[in-house]
Amino acid sequence: MKTLEETLSDLKEKIEGRMPAAQVNIMHEATRKLEASGIAERILRVGDKAPSFLLKNQEGQDVSSEALLQNEKLLVTFYRGLWCPYCNADLANLKRYTDTFKAGGIRLLSISPQLPQHNEAIVARQRLNFDLLSDPGNAVAAQFGLRWEMVDPLRSLYDNNFNIHLPEYNGDNSWTLPVPARFIINQNGEIEYAEYAIDYTKRPNPEVVLEAMKLA
């Protein structure tokens, strides 16, 4: 079976291989600019206090981090949206590990800026066994230091060429997204594991989390 890195690498080669070079260059340059923006310095680290949140899941039900942390740790993964093939591959891969996380006393959650109905669609499509939470305006993502704004020429590329209209998915006009990231939050509300990927086409294998939490 392929590793997640191999799956994502193959996916990137396939997607970018059929795109005009000019479009690929716009995407790569946007990633370079985001990396150079200093956003990594703002992302929460191990030992930081995690923001608490109360968000709607894919069924419109309230999910409280404070309530869940009374009984278990949380593994929170930030997800860009239904339209992102790399994110969907990551979620499908994470699904395989939910029982292992659960046995280690960890609840898996995903947070996305998109509206609940889009989260519901991907849960149904991939038969996910964990909640996807809607984060309006990326407000919670911002508290974790992950929110960034898509600007031209990348915004026009998504909007006009890819037909990915973020306001329709997210329900607001901010054109903001989260940097893909994962955090384990302990029952004291502290972050004890953190990872992120400024380059959204790359995600570490969940085995990295298992090893870090000594669940492997």
CA–CA separation, 211 and 216 (whole Å): 5
CA–CA separation, 94 and 114 (whole Å): 19
Write the pLDDT tens digit of every residue in 120-172.
999 999 999 999 999 999 999 999 999 999 999 999 999 999 999 999 999 99
- Check pLDDT > 60 for residue 214: yes
CA–CA separation, 112 and 82 (whole Å): 9
- Strand 54-56 to 147-149 pairing: unpaired
**What are the Cα distances from residue 125, in Å, to 70, 119, 120, 122, 193?**
31, 10, 9, 5, 29
Domain 4-212 listed as CATH 3.40.800.10: no
208 falls in which pLDDT band (50, 70, 90)? confident
Does residue 83 sit in helix, strand or coil?
coil
First to last CA, the chain: 18
Does residue 112 sit in helix, strand or coil?
strand
Q: Identify which of 95-104, 126-135, 195-204 has the greatest average pLDDT.
A: 126-135
Q: CB-based burial of residue 14 (10 Å sphere; 0-12 exposed, 13-18 middle, 19+ buried)?
A: exposed
What tokens appear for 50 in the block? 């995690």
Q: Is 201 left (phi over 0), alpha (psi -120 to 50) or beta?
A: alpha
User: For residue 216, what pLDDT is reported?
Assistant: 47
Say whether the peptide bond before residue 153 is cis (omega within 30 degrees of 0). Answer: yes
Write the pLDDT tens digit of every residue in 52-76.
999 999 999 999 999 999 999 999 9
